[in-house]
Each structure stands twice: as structure tokens, then as C-alpha cells.
């Protein structure tokens, strides 16, 4: 792809804010339709292969793969006892990262919390300001939603239905599968539709034991559905097929790009069309509005390095800055015409904020594997996914909606089971004998969308670039806590059914935000009084403004959102291009 | 020390801290005050040749005597056995030295200085000799006292033991000895086909 200097004097057909899963997809679809597109990214373009170094051995790394001494990543305890914006108590470290930034391989991908403060209730907010954003380090679990999610209100009466159903989005899930690649096994589950899968990974022995153990309970364990191309993609020269090298478990990303990331999967191919201009280090601070027409006219941005202010004009503005950053931008874009922020006549921008609750889970040992010769277990993008089973056919008496488990088993580069009591010869032997026998899983559950869970702008605190910070008003409530209690119990009951020796059962709910699945701050809907966007992620108020990231979600479901963000975005951008060509925007 | 009776760590330490001030001074390793954040090169009576060498290599955190002590401690945590080398073979003491040398956390450095000092005082108290010169059984017995009192984390020697074990585990299982010799880790290689329960012999390219 050829990079060129961004021409800021011309009027682009569309400007996209953010280069992650949503921004990359918008760039792919709009450039394919022939639109002239400017893509703005707040962070740098990193030499990503040099950051990720997926096959580096710990002993070849200056700090054995851990963070260098001047950096610190927040722990669960610190999130619990320190309040944002995380200034006091961390004076000793120059760089302060979210909990994800705990290795040498991701330290430059996640933001420095000091430069990007936020206030209010505790939130483990994980942000990646660099080309590709969080897709550089995502967990890769690529799941579809179903009408159990899109029509959840019709099923249990809570919240709102989505303005689309599964049939509307299914063809776009297919397009995403084929364009980006996904591994998995067909299961024919109505609540978790199959994708068009490439070569699947294989379960190891303890995982097969668990799968068989829970079958009699009517529960389903399937291979991790990874957004990874296991066979390669003929249409993409930037990505290799997966070679099972196994650094996936350190969640440091994939330096041959077999795992999807937005730059190699979407942005570089879009640049090859000749229709895409990329501008990095562009911190967008406001969407500008034409006072005559009331339409969006472009954006103001600050160069993150020089601190200089720029403006650029576009006929359509597409926000893809992430659920929380897109909401922040809408709230920042106040004007005489839009005193509550842009696209906010409903007052719902920043509200209905939801995500996934995490923490409860179980760790155990497959006794028949203890002391067996070492096996190769982590040469694959993921272990297993144990699908939702609550509130499908039967109604649970204590909570609504559902949860699934992500898990895995076997040997890892850094052994599991070193946190046991004791030391010496027996400790060493125990670690060695147990290393291949460990099995663990943790739950991801739907957090209900609630108007009273929201973000707004802090009246005083600003980030390094002088842009007002977000303030959180967000807490898990009873439904989440009752669900978490059930997660713990069912996790234990399933490990018992598999005959595993249970080592640890966790009932601890992790800090809000931990799942990195924040959603819903500019939700879609048919009713402009209670929603921000229509079914094509187009603002009810401003027709040439689209918000194509997780903020459009009406509810969180319990399935990981990235694949749905991209399928929805593709559908919306097809509509956008069509309306653009008809002159309707 | 008796292996049958449970040790009362709190009571014992009153005694050994008292006696250490008077009787044992000469036999102890020369160590600085806990609170003093002065470089080892200034305080430790190191031979002149060693001093020059230290100055050249951006000054190690541990004195040679402390380094020898950390080697013995880490080897007691993860010893060599018939299967593989232990912490000494994996050069864990060098790793810990680097972490402490580079650390931005003065309290962690102070904990290690104090911890090493207390270990030798304890060893003198229970076994009549410094830790390095104790028998393997005596070394294990001493660390067992601390391991069995892990909940008393207000005591610096207990906090030191917890950090010693954590850093030894980190250093060992990220070393060539730990990864390849001990665990015989099979991953981090190019595979033509994923490996599952039925086929445990991977096909490498």
C-alpha cells in the first residue's frame, strides 16, 4: 500500500474517526464503493511486528517479557482501592497502563493512563491508541449473535429489541467470515449461529473430557471460534495463515497477522484501492456542523505530537472511535444548534452503557494427565468456548439473560500452578507433573442495558491534549451479581461432572470494564426519542453522521462483540454508500 | 531447631533480634541499614579489585556475599534434581539482581536488603551459622519456618520470603533451564497442523 500525506484542503466524501475493527471495516466498505475516504487515528502507526515479536523466548527479552521497570500496569487490587484518574499512589512509574498492559509486547499499544485520565466510578478502561487499536491485541473470540439477543425483550420483557433481526445481519456475518477468516466447528445451535469456518483447531484431552462430561447435562463445548485465518486468504497479501506457534496465550497479538487485526485485514487493502488516505496522530476533539443545514461538515483534530490544531471537511462523518470515545466526541460537539451534544436530541448519548461481567470461574486438574510426558497444548489461537445455557428454553428464577465460558487446558509457556504453597524439590516436581493437567475457564455474562448507567463529560479534568475527560456513572447491579453467583456454581458443577480435581473456584467479580466489551452508548432504535441511531447506525438527528462501533448495540448479549460490530458496520456502510450515491446525505 | 514442635515466629524473633545486636555482629554479612538508600559499592567492604569491576559494570545490586546468599536461597526454593538443573544453573540470582538494580520501587530494594540480613540472623539463631554455610536440611528447615507463616505478612522476613519465591519462580520458569530442561515445553514452533488429543506428536515443518 502506498501512504501519502493527507491533503487537508480538500473535502472528502467521508471522514472516519478511529482505525480499529469498526473504522477499518468502514474504510474497507466505503473505499470499495468508490468513496474518497480520510481515516483518522489518534495514536501512532507502530512498527507492530517489532512490538509483538510473537516467537521471542522470555530469556531473549531484556525483562523476560515482563514490563520494563519504569512501567506499571494496574492490578485488580489497585483498581479496587484507587480511584480514577489514578494519579496518587503511582508516582514511581513513568508509564501507567491498564491491566492489559502487563507485558513488554503490549506496553506501547495501550495508552498511558496519565495522559488519558477519566473520573467517576471505577472502571478498568482499556484503550489502545495506535493504528488498529485494540484489534492488535484482541482475544479473537469471534461469535455471532442470534435472535435470542436481537429480540431479547420480546422473550423476557426487559429493555428493548434491536431494530434488526438475525436475517438482516446474517449475510454480513457471512461476508466478514469470508473476508477475514474464522476457525471453528459447526454446532447448529439456534442461539449461537455457525459461521463459515476454515480449518478448525483441535481440543486437547482434558477439553474432550469436559465436553463429554457436560454433554449429559445438555451443555455444549466447542472449539474456540477464533477470528484467525487457519487456511490463509487468497485476496489478502498482508496476512499469513496460522502456524500454531502458540504465543497466543500471552495475548500479545500475532506478528504474522493470522489473527485478524484491522491494519492488515482491512486498512492496507483499502489503501490499495487508491481511495483511502490515512492520518495518524490525529486526536479528534469535535465534529463540526454547518449551521445552515445542521449537517456534520467535518472534524477538528489536534496533532498528538506537535499539539497543532487542524480542521478537515467531509460530506459524511463516520464515528468508529470505540463505544466510549465516540460517545465522548458526540458530547464534546456542542453548538448553538445542538446544545446537548451532537445527535443527542434524545438525551441518550452516553446512556444505556453495558458490557460483559467477568470473574467467576474454576480451575482444576485432569487427574489422569498428572505426571504424563509434556504435550503441546498452546499451539492454537484458543482452547474452547462453552456456550450459553441459561434462559434459553427455561427461565432461571434469579436472573435474566445468559453467560458463556472461555477456557483452555494444558501446558503453557509459563506454567500454571506455581502459586501453590511450599518450595523445594516437591514444589518443583509438582509444578512439572501438573503442568499439562490444568484446566480452567471463566465466564462472560450479559450486563443489562440501563439508562442510569452512563458516561458524561467531566467539568474540570482534561486529557494531555486539553480535551475534557469522560466521567463514569456505572455499576453492576443485582441481575449481574445473581448471575455471577450462578456462574460460580455451574462452573464447579461442570468440572465435577467431568471428574476434574477442583483446585480453585472463584466467585470474585472483576472490576467493571474488565471484559473490554463496552457497548451501547449511542444505541440504535426505531424511536428517535429513546435512541440515537437508526438500524443503519445513522443518527436520527443528523443524517450524514454514522456511529459504527459498539456504541450502536441495543443490548450486550453474552457473546463477544467484535464480529457483530464489523457485520453491522458493513451493512451500515453499504447503506451509507447507496444513500451517498443517490444524493440523500 | 526442633522439627516436631511448631515454631512461634513472633516470640522467636524477639530473641534473635536481641542477640544479633550483640553476639553475632562479627559473623554477619556486612549489610547497610534498611532505610539507607546508599549504593552497595560505598558501604560494603569489598576488595579493591572487585570495587573497580563493579564500577565498570554499572554496579550490581548485590554484594558478592549477598549474591552467594541469594544463590543458596533460590536454589533452596527450586533445587537441582535428577531431572534438571535448579535456580543456580538458571542464574536466577543474576535475574533478581537485575530486577532490583533497575527497580523504581525503593521499598522493594529495602525489603531485600533487610530480608537478607534477617535470614542470616535467623540462621545464626537456629543453626549457629550463616545461611550459606548451613547444611541442606538446615536451609530447608529455615525457609519452612517462613513458608509456614506466610499469613504473617506484617513481618519483613515473611514478606521477603514471599517475594523471594515469586522472583525465583519468575526467573526460573523464564530461563532456558526452566523452559527446556525442566518443563520440556513443546510449543513456540511452526506447525503444519494443529495438535489435539488424538495426535500428540506435532508435525513440524
Q: Which of residues 415-434 of A touch B (CB under 8 A)?
A: 415, 418, 421-425, 427-429, 431-432
Return the residue in A201, A241, A424, A432 with the most chain B beta carbons within 10 A, the one to mutate for interface testing: A424
* Residue A548: all three cell numbers together: 459504527
**Residue B48 to residue B61: CA distance in whole angstroms:** 17
B185 vs A201, A208, A411: nearest CB: A411
Q: Say whether both A174 and A189 belong to one domain.
A: no
The torsion angles phi and psi of B135, rounded to 5 degrees, stand at -75, 160
In percent, the amount of chain A with pLDDT more than 90 equals 93
Given an 8 Å threshold on Cβ–Cβ distance, is A245 in contact with B186? no
Q: Are A136 and A109 in contact (CB under 8 A)?
A: yes
A281, A221: one domain: no
Transcribe A370-413 into DSSP letters.
TTPPP----SSS--EEE---TTSSS--SS--S-EEEEEEES--S
Task: State the angle between helix axes of B92-102 and B156-173 in degrees (0 to 180), rounded to the nearest 10.
Answer: 120
- For A495-515, the pLDDT digits (tens) are 999 999 999 999 999 999 999
Is the pLDDT at A463 greater than 90? The verdict is yes
**Cβ B179–A379 below 8 Å, yes or no?**
no
Interface of A with B in 390-419 (CB under 8 A): 411, 413-415, 418
Q: Is A282 exposed, middle or buried (0-12, 13-18, 19+ CB in 10 A)?
A: buried
Sheet holding A356-365, edge to edge: A221-223, A384-386, A403-409, A438-446, A356-365, A501-506
- A289-307 pLDDT, tens digit per residue, is 999 999 999 999 999 999 9
Residues 32-61 of B with CB under 8 A from A: none
Tell whether A94 and A233 lie within a shared domain.
no
Q: Reduce the DSSP state of residue B81 to 3 states and report it.
A: coil
Q: Are residues A419 and A504 in the same domain?
A: yes
Give the whole-number percent of chain A exceeding pLDDT 70: 99
Average pLDDT over residues A541-555: 98
State the Cα–Cα distance between residues A80 and A122, nearest whole angstrom. 7
Q: Which residues pair with A444 in a beta bridge?
A: A358, A404
Residues 6+ apart with CB under 8 A from A293: none
B197·A202 Cβ contact <8 A: yes
- Smallest CA-to-CA distance from A173 within A138, A199, A144, A141 is with A144
pLDDT of residue A358: 97
For residue A170, is it within any domain?
Answer: yes
pLDDT at A111 over 80: yes
CB contact under 8 A, A204 and B195: yes
In a domain, B43, yes or no: yes
* Domain stop point among A485, A511, A537: A511
Q: Please report which confidence band the pLDDT of residue A392 belongs to, taking 50, 70 and 90 as the band edges.
A: very high
Burial category of A508 from C-beta neighbours within 10 Å (exposed 0-12, middle 13-18, buried 19 and up): exposed
Task: Describe the crossing of helices B92-102 and B106-127 by its angle, rounded to 10 degrees.
Answer: 140
Query: Is position A206 within any domain?
Result: yes
Is B33 domain-assigned? Answer: no
Measured distance CA(A44)–CA(A59) in Å, rounded: 29
Taking contacts as CB-CB distances below 8 angstroms, the residues of chain A near B171 are 64
B195 touches A: beta carbon within 8 Å = yes
Tell me which chain B residues have a C-beta less than 8 angstroms from the C-beta of A223. none
Spans of chain B, pLDDT less than 50: 2, 23-57, 205
Q: Is residue A539 part of a domain?
A: yes
Q: Tell me which residues of chain A, numbers 36 to 55, contact chain B at a CB-CB cutoff of 8 Å.
A: 55
Determine, yes or no, domain membership for A462. no
Residue A117 has pLDDT above 60, yes or no: yes
C-beta of residue A253 within 8 angstroms of C-beta of residue A54: yes
What residue has cell string 457485520? A567
Please give the residue of chain B at the shortest CA–CA distance from A381.
Answer: B194
Confidence grade of residue A314 (pLDDT, cut at 50, 70, 90): very high
Q: Hey, which residues does A470 pair with through a beta bridge?
A: A457
CB atoms within 10 A of CB A321: 28
Q: In this structure, is the dihedral angle defined by the CA atoms of residues B39, B42, B46 and B52, taken in order, positive or negative?
A: positive
Q: For residue B10, what pLDDT is reported? A: 84
Q: Indicate if A279 and A177 belong to the same structural domain.
A: yes
> Measured between alpha carbons, how far is A441 from A444 in angstroms, rounded to an integer?
10
What pLDDT does A186 receive? 98
Mind giving me the DSSP string for A487-503? HHHHHHHHHHHTTPEEE
Establish if A134 belongs to a structural domain: no
Confirm whether B205 is domain-assigned.
Answer: no
Q: Give residue-wise pLDDT tens across range A213-258.
A: 999 999 999 999 999 999 999 999 999 999 998 777 665 789 999 9
- Is A396 in the same domain as A485? yes
Measured between alpha carbons, how far is residue A383 from residues A201, A214, A410 in Å?
A: 8, 16, 9
Q: Which residues contact A194 (CB under 8 A, 6 or more apart)?
A: A144, A184, A186, A187, A188
Helix, strand, coil distribution of chain B in percent, nearest 5: 55, 0, 40
CA neighbor of A507 nearest in space, from A525, A490, A530, A487: A487
Q: Is B162 on the interface with A (CB under 8 A)?
A: no
One-letter-per-residue 3-state SS of A26-75: HHHHHHHCCCCEEEECCCECCCHHHHHCCCCCHHHCCCCCECCCCEEECC
Question: Is residue A404 within 8 Å of residue A357, measured between CB atoms?
Answer: no
The answer to whether B173 faces chain A, any CB pair under 8 Å, is yes
Considering the domain architecture, whether residues A232 and A155 belong to the same structural domain is answered as no
Q: Judge if the upstream peptide bond of residue A85 is cis by omega within 30 degrees of 0.
A: yes
Is the same domain home to A13 and A81?
no
Taking residues A334-345, report their average pLDDT.
Answer: 97
Out of B147, B179, B188, the one facing A423 most closely (by C-beta) is: B147
Average pLDDT value for residue range A443-458: 98
Angle, vertex CA B91, rays to CA B88 and CA B97, nearest 5: 115
Same domain, yes or no, for A385 and A486?
yes
- What is the pLDDT at residue B24? 45
Among B149, B197, B203, which would you mutate to test the A interface (most chain A Cβ atoms within 10 Å of its Cβ)?
B197
pLDDT the model gives residue B15: 81
Query: Which residues of chain B are within 8 Å of residue A431 when distances are taken between CB atoms?
Result: 173, 183
A38 in a domain, yes or no? yes
Residues of A with CB below 8 A from B205's CB?
Answer: 243
Could you give the CA distance from residue A17 to residue A299 in angstroms, rounded to a whole number?
A: 9
A96 contacts chain B (CB < 8 A): no
pLDDT at position A357 over 60: yes
Taking CA–CA distances from B182, the nearest residue in chain A reads: A432
Q: Which residue has the higher pLDDT, B138 or A86?
A: B138
Tell me, what's the pLDDT at A251?
59
Q: Could you give the CA distance from residue B77 to residue A425 in angstroms, rounded to a whole number?
A: 8
pLDDT tens across A408-444, in order? 999 999 999 898 899 999 999 999 999 999 999 999 9
Domain check: are A384 and A425 in the same one?
yes
List the grid coordinates of B8. Answer: 512461634
Greatest pairwise CA separation for chain A in angstroms: 79
Measure the CA–CA gap between A445 and A147, rounded to whole angstroms: 17
What ipTM was assigned to the predicted interfaces of this complex?
Answer: 0.92
The answer to whether residue B200 sits within a structural domain is no
pLDDT of res. A5: 83
Range of the domain at B20: 9-24+39-182
Q: Which helix (H) or strand (E) holds A317?
A: strand A309-319
Judge whether A228 and A350 are in contact, CB under 8 Å: no
On whether both A442 and A498 belong to a single domain, the answer is: yes
pLDDT at site B1: 58
As for how many domains chain A has, the answer is: 3
Q: Would you say A182 and A345 are in contact if contact means Cβ atoms under 8 Å apart?
A: no
Number of structural domains found in chain B: 1
Residue B50 confidence (pLDDT)? 44
We report the CATH number of the domain holding residue A308 as 3.50.50.60
Of A445, A448, A284, nearest in space to A351 by CA = A448
User: 3-class SS at A563?
Assistant: helix
Do residues A113 and A150 share a domain? no
d(CA A309, CA A279): 14
The answer to whether residue B88 is domain-embedded is: yes
Cell 445473581 appears where?
A482
Q: Give B-chain residues touching A429 at CB under 8 angstroms.
A: 81, 83
Classify the C-alpha dihedral A421-A427-A430-A432 as positive or negative. Answer: positive
Q: Is the confidence at residue A187, as pLDDT, over 90?
A: yes
Tell me what the pLDDT averaged over chain A comes to: 96
Whether the CB-CB separation of A560 and A444 falls below 8 Å is answered with: yes
Output DSSP code: residue A463. Answer: -
The three three-digit cell numbers of residue B77, written as one number: 526454593
- Rg for chain B, CA atoms, rounded: 20
The H or E element containing residue B72 is helix B64-77
**Range in A322-326, A368-372, B20-24, B129-133 with the lowest mean pLDDT:** B20-24
**For chain B, what is the largest distance between any 2 Cα atoms, rounded to a whole number of angstroms?**
68
Give which of A208, A255, A199 is closest to A408, Cα–Cα.
Answer: A208
**pLDDT for residue B52:** 45
Q: Does B151 fall in a domain? A: yes
Q: What integer pLDDT is reported at residue B22 of this predicted model?
A: 53
Give CA–CA dist A296/A317, Å, rounded: 7
Residue A481 has a pLDDT of 98
Residue A191 belongs to domain spanning: 183-253+356-446+476-511
Q: Does any domain span residue B4?
A: no
Amino acid at each position: 500500500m502506498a501512504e501519502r500525506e493527507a491533503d487537508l484542503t480538500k473535502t472528502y466524501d467521508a471522514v472516519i474517526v478511529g482505525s480499529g475493527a469498526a473504522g477499518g471495516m468502514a474504510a474497507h466498505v466505503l473505499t470499495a464503493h468508490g468513496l474518497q475516504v480520510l481515516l483518522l487515528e489518534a495514536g501512532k502507526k507502530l512498527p507492530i511486528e517489532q512490538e509483538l515479536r510473537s516467537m521471542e523466548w522470555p530469556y531473549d527479552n531484556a525483562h523476560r517479557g515482563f514490563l520494563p521497570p519504569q512501567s506499571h500496569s494496574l492490578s485488580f487490587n489497585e483498581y479496587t482501592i484507587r480511584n480514577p484518574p489514578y494519579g496518587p499512589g503511582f508516582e514511581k512509574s513513568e508509564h501507567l497502563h491498564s491491566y492489559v498492559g502487563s507485558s513488554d509486547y503490549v506496553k506501547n499499544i495501550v495508552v498511558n493512563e496519565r495522559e488519558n485520565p477519566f473520573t467517576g466510578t471505577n472502571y478498568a478502561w482499556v484503550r489502545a491508541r495506535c493504528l488498529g487499536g485494540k484489534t492488535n491485541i484482541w482475544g479473537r473470540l469471534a461469535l455471532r449473535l442470534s435472535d435470542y439477543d436481537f429480540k431479547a425483550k420480546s422473550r423476557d420483557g426487559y429493555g428493548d429489541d434491536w431494530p434488526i433481526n438475525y436475517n438482516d445481519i446474517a449475510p454480513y456475518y457471512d461476508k466478514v467470515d469470508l473476508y477475514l477468516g474464522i476457525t471453528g466447528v459447526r454446532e447448529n445451535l439456534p442461539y449461537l449461529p455457525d459461521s463459515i469456518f476454515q480449518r478448525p483447531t483441535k481440543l486437547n484431552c482434558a477439553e474432550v473430557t469436559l465436553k463429554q462430561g457436560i454433554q449429559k447435562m445438555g451443555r455444549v463445548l466447542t472449539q474456540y471460534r477464533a477470528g484467525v485465518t487457519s487456511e490463509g486468504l487468497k485476496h489478502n497479501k498482508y496476512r499469513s495463515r496460522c502456524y500454531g506457534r502458540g504465543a497466543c496465550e500471552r495475548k500479545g497479538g500475532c506478528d504474522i497477522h493470522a489473527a485478524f487485526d484491522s491494519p492488515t485485514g482491512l486498512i492496507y487493502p483499502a489503501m490499495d484501492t487508491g481511495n483511502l488516505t490515512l492520518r495518524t496522530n490525529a486526536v479528534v476533539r469535535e465534529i463540526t456542523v454547518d449551521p445552515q443545514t445542521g449537517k456534520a461538515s467535518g472534524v477538528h483534530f489536534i496533532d498528538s505530537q506537535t499539539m497543532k490544531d487542524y480542521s478537515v471537511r467531509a460530506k459524511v462523518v463516520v464515528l468508529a472511535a470505540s463505544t466510549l470515545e465516540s460517545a465522548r466526541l458526540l458530547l464534546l460537539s456542542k453548538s448553538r444548534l445542538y446544545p446537548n451534544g451532537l445527535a443527542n436530541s434524545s438525551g441518550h448519548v452516553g446512556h444505556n452503557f453495558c458490557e460483559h461481567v467477568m470473574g467467576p470461574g474454576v480451575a482444576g486438574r485432569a487427574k489422569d494427565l498428572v505426571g504424563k510426558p509434556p504435550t503441546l497444548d498452546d499451539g492454537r489461537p484458543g482452547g474452547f468456548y462453552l456456550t450459553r445455557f441459561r434462559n434459553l428454553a427455561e427461565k432461571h428464577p434469579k436472573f435474566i439473560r445468559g453467560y458463556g465460558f472461555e477456557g483452555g487446558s494444558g501446558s503453557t509457556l509459563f506454567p500454571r500452578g506455581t502459586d501453590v504453597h511450599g518450595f523445594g524439590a516437591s514444589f518443583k516436581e509438582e509444578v512439572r507433573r501438573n503442568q499439562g493437567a490444568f484446566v480452567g475457564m471463566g465466564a462472560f455474562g450479559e450486563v443489562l442495558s440501563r439508562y442510569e448507567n452512563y458516561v458524561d463529560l467531566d467539568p474540570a479534568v482534561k486529557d494531555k491534549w486539553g480535551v475534557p475527560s469522560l466521567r463514569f456513572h456505572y455499576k453492576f447491579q443485582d441481575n449481574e451479581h445473581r448471575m455471577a453467583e450462578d456462574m460460580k456454581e455451574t462452573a464447579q458443577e461442570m468440572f465435577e461432572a467431568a471428574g476434574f480435581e477442583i483446585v480453585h473456584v472463584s466467585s470474585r467479580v472483576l472490576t467493571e470494564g474488565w471484559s473490554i466489551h463496552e457497548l451501547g452508548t449511542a444505541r440504535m432504535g426505531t424511536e428517535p426519542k429513546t435512541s440515537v441511531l437508526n438500524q443503519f447506525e445513522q443518527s436520527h438527528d443528523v443524517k450524514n453522521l454514522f456511529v459504527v462501533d459498539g456504541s450502536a448495540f441495543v443490548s450486550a448479549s453474552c457473546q463477544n462483540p467484535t464480529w457483530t460490530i464489523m457485520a453491522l458496520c458493513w451493512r451500515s456502510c453499504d447503506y451509507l454508500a447507496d444513500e451517498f450515491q443517490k444524493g440523500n446525505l | 531447631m526442633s522439627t516436631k514442635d511448631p515454631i512461634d515466629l513472633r516470640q522467636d524473633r524477639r530473641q534473635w533480634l536481641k542477640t544479633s545486636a550483640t553476639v553475632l555482629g562479627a559473623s554477619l554479612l556486612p549489610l547497610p541499614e534498611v532505610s539507607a538508600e546508599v549504593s552497595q559499592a560505598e558501604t560494603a567492604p569489598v576488595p579493591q579489585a572487585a570495587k573497580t569491576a563493579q564500577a565498570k559494570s554499572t554496579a550490581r545490586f548485590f554484594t558478592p556475599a549477598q549474591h552467594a546468599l541469594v544463590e543458596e536461597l533460590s536454589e533452596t526454593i527450586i533445587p537441582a534434581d535428577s531431572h534438571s538443573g535448579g535456580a543456580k544453573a538458571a542464574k536466577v540470582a543474576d535475574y533478581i539482581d537485575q530486577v532490583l538494580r533497575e527497580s523504581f520501587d525503593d521499598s522493594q530494594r529495602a525489603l531485600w536488603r533487610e530480608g537478607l540480613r534477617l535470614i542470616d540472623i535467623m540462621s545464626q539463631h537456629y543453626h549457629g551459622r550463616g545461611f550459606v554455610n548451613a547444611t541442606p536440611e538446615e536451609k530447608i528447615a529455615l525457609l519452612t519456618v517462613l513458608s509456614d507463616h506466610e499469613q504473617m505478612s506484617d513481618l519483613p522476613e515473611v514478606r521477603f520470603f514471599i517475594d523471594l519465591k515469586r522472583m525465583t519462580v519468575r526467573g526460573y520458569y523464564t530461563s532456558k533451564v526452566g523452559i527446556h530442561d525442566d518443563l520440556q515445553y513443546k510449543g513456540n514452533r511452526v506447525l503444519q497442523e494443529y495438535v489435539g488429543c488424538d495426535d500428540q506428536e506435532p508435525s513440524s515443518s
